[in-house]
A and B are shown apart, each in its own frame.
Chain A
Amino acid sequence: MQQNNGPTNGPAAAALLAAGIGSLALGLFVILAEASKSVNNALNFYNPVGPLSGKTTLAIVIWILSWMMLHGLWKNKQVSFAGVFTVSVILIILGLLGTFPPFFDLFAG
Chain B
Amino acid sequence: MLAKRIIPCLDVTAGRVVKGINFVGLRDAGDPVEIARRYDDQGADELTFLDITASSDDRDLILHIIESVAAQVFIPFTVGGGVRSVNDVRRLLNAGADKVSINTSAVQNPQLVADASGRYGAQCIVVAIDAKRVVNSETLRWEVYTHGGRKATGIDALEWGRKMQALGAGEILLTSMDRDGTRVGFDIELTRAFSDMLEIPVIASGGVGGLAHLADGVLQGRADAVLAASIFHYGEFTVRQAKEHMAGKGIEVRL
- Bound pair (A, B): no
- A residues with CB within 8 A of B: none
